[in-house]
Structures are given as structure tokens and as C-alpha cells.
């Protein structure tokens, strides 16, 4: 029995190995692009869901107080970075803002004069509050509270608490 010489298939094997390594590298590049795109869509989905929830809350509060213009209708919360080193990811910022809005939901429908007089109470309600998000602790502090006509706006800062 005769065995064919290996030199005959050497170029074919090298070409096959090159083709196989190209396929592996190409699939790795494709998966990284796909994962990045999926991550972007995930962040956008949470933005849209939060915006939708905010708009539904605004509609509900406006329906509740549509005949009385001296009541607080809208609560806006803005999260400011404490400094450039303490930047928090955008989805965590939205979750913290949503949690603070949920804490102050009791303000909607109250008279604007009562809310204006009780601002220190609402500030103490939120300041030094700890939120647990994504296995991390965040401590919130109120920078300022402004009441303009029927809109209550809060500027807060959040810092990750190291344990």
C-alpha cells in the first residue's frame, strides 16, 4: 500500500488554516460590533421608558390639578456631577432621578405656598439618602430646590459610597 506524499497537501492545509483563522477573527469582530450596538439600544430603551413614565406621570398630575393653577403639577430632578472624577453612568443617573421623583410624589397636588414653606422638610427627606443600584451604594445630597409657579425643580448630587 502506498501513502501519498504530505508535500502535495501542504499548500491546501495552509490555505485552509488561513481561511479558518480569518473566519474566527471575522466572527469575533462581528460579535463585538453586535454587542456594542445591543448595549446602545439597551441604554436608549431605558431612556425612552423613563421618558414615557415621566410623561405619563405629568399627564396624571396635570389631570389631577387642571382646574387649580396654584397646585404643584410637575417635579423635575437634575443630577449634577460632584466633580469630574465622580462621573456616574447615564442609566444610573436616570434611576437615581426616578427614585428621587418617587420620593417627592407626595408633593404633586399640594398648594404651592405650602411646598414653598416646607422646602427644608423636603430637603431633609432627600439629603443623605442612600440608594442601592447595581450592587453599589449612592448617597444623594440636595444642592438647591426651586419652585416656579407650578413646577418644583431639584438639583442633586450623588456620590458612590465606598464600603
The pLDDT score that the predictor gives to residue 31 is 97
Residue 150: the pLDDT is 81
C-alpha closest to that of 50 among 91, 81, 79, 105: 91
Burial of 5 (0-12, 13-18, 19+ CB in 10 A): exposed
Is residue 156 within 8 A of residue 80, CB to CB? The reply is yes
Same domain, yes or no, for 16 and 86?
Answer: no
How far is CA 147 from each of CA 37, 106, 111, rounded to the nearest angstrom?
Answer: 40, 15, 11
Same domain, 100 and 65: no
Same domain as 78, residue 65: no
Residues 6+ apart with CB under 8 A from 133: 92, 95, 96
Domain stops at, among 69, 88, 113: 69
| Together in a domain, 99 and 61 | no
Distance of alpha carbon 39 from alpha carbon 49, whole angstroms? 15
Task: Check whether residue 105 and residue 65 sit in a common domain.
Answer: no
Q: In this structure, are 101 and 157 located in the same domain?
A: yes
16 and 42 share a domain?
yes
Final residue of a domain: which of 69, 90, 125? 69
- What would the pLDDT profile of 16-48 be if each residue is shown by its tens digit? 999 999 999 999 999 999 999 999 999 999 999
Same domain, 17 and 83: no
| pTM for this model (two decimals) | 0.58
In a shared domain, residues 32 and 11: yes
Contact at 8 Å (CB) between 100 and 140?
Answer: yes
Q: Give pLDDT, residue 48.
A: 95
Q: Say if residue 154 is in the same domain as residue 138.
A: yes
Q: State which residues form the domain around 40.
A: 1-69
Answer yes or no: do 102 and 59 share one domain.
Answer: no
Q: Partners of 140 in the beta sheet?
A: 129, 158
Stretch 119-143: mean pLDDT:
82
Is 100 in the same domain as 64? no
The vertex-141 CA angle with 99 and 82, nearest 5°, equals 105
Number of domains into which the chain is organized = 2
Per-residue pLDDT reduced to its tens digit, 46-104: 999 999 998 998 888 778 767 666 778 888 888 887 776 667 778 788 888 888 888 88
Amino acid at each position: 500500500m502506498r501513502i501519498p506524499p504530505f508535500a502535495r497537501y501542504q499548500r491546501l492545509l495552509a490555505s485552509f488554516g488561513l481561511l479558518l483563522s480569518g473566519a474566527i477573527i471575522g466572527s469575533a469582530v462581528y460579535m463585538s460590533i453586535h454587542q456594542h450596538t445591543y448595549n446602545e439600544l439597551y441604554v436608549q430603551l431605558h431612556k425612552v421608558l423613563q421618558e414615557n413614565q415621566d410623561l405619563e406621570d405629568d399627564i396624571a398630575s396635570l389631570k389631577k390639578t387642571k382646574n387649580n393653577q396654584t397646585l404643584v403639577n410637575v417635579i423635575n430632578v437634575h443630577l449634577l456631577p460632584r466633580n469630574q472624577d465622580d462621573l456616574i453612568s447615564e442609566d444610573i443617573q436616570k434611576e437615581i432621578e426616578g427614585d428621587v421623583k418617587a420620593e417627592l410624589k407626595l408633593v404633586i397636588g399640594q398648594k404651592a405656598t405650602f411646598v414653598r414653606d416646607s422646602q427644608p422638610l423636603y430637603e431633609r427627606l432627600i439629603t443623605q439618602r442612600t440608594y442601592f443600584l447595581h450592587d453599589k451604594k449612592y448617597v444623594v445630597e440636595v444642592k438647591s430646590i426651586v419652585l416656579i409657579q407650578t413646577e418644583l425643580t431639584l438639583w442633586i448630587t450623588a456620590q458612590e459610597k465606598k464600603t
